[in-house]
């Protein structure tokens, strides 16, 4: 009987280790996914910013494509990427996500709504000329910056 109890104890301990490893892998995947989403956002906004700053020629078709793509990436259901415990308090420099994301939840949801509204406006005007693009990029940048200032730790 003692041997069975010890065996069950070891099996339980082993399963717990496997599960904690799987949870760690899930957290790592979530962090990697949200970093990838941020890279995609950066990719598209950099195209739009280059046009707005005159670094590349304005192209209505490309501006519209980039704005639509930026909106699409930004409106994905990313809830699975924001796993509680995947902030700097638990992962250190593996992420820049501050733990305030989870403790002040409604605030970050409001930030997301502001971003979506700014992007929806950009989508409607990005193809209507350089001045229209320029007028829409400021609110998008403001929405990005507001969230980053509040919920993203500085680079180390």
The neighbouring-strand residues paired with 97 are: 152
pTM over 0.85: no
Q: How far is CA 8 from the centre of its chain?
A: 42
Residue 97: is it exposed, middle or buried by C-beta count within 10 angstroms (0-12/13-18/19+)? buried
Class level of CATH domain 2-151: mainly alpha
What is the per-residue pLDDT for 22?
52
Helices (H), the chain: 2-52, 60-74, 88-91, 100-103, 105-125, 130-151
Q: Where are the domains of the chain?
A: 2-151
pLDDT mean by block of 10 residues, the chain; 156 residues: 47 42 78 96 97 98 98 94 94 95 89 95 98 97 93 91
What is the per-residue pLDDT for 25?
73
Q: Answer for the pair 99, 153: CB distance below 8 angstroms, yes or no.
A: no
What is the per-residue pLDDT for 142?
95
């Amino acid at each position: 009987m003692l041997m069975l109890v010890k065996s069950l104890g070891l099996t339980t301990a082993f399963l717990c280790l496997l599960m904690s490893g799987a949870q760690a892998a899930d957290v790592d995947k979530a962090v990697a996914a949200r970093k990838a989403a941020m890279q995609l956002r950066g990719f598209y906004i950099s195209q739009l910013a280059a046009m707005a700053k005159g670094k590349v020629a304005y192209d209505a078709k490309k501006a519209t494509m980039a704005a639509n793509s930026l909106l699409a990436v930004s409106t994905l259901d990313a809830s699975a990427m924001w796993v509680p415990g995947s902030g700097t308090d638990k992962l250190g420099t593996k992420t820049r996500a501050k733990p305030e994301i989870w403790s002040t939840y409604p605030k970050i949801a409001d930030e997301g709504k502001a971003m979506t509204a700014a992007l929806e406006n950009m989508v409607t005007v990005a193809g209507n000329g350089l001045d229209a693009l320029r007028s829409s990029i400021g609110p998008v940048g403001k929405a990005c910056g507001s969230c980053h200032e509040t919920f993203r730790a500085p680079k180390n």
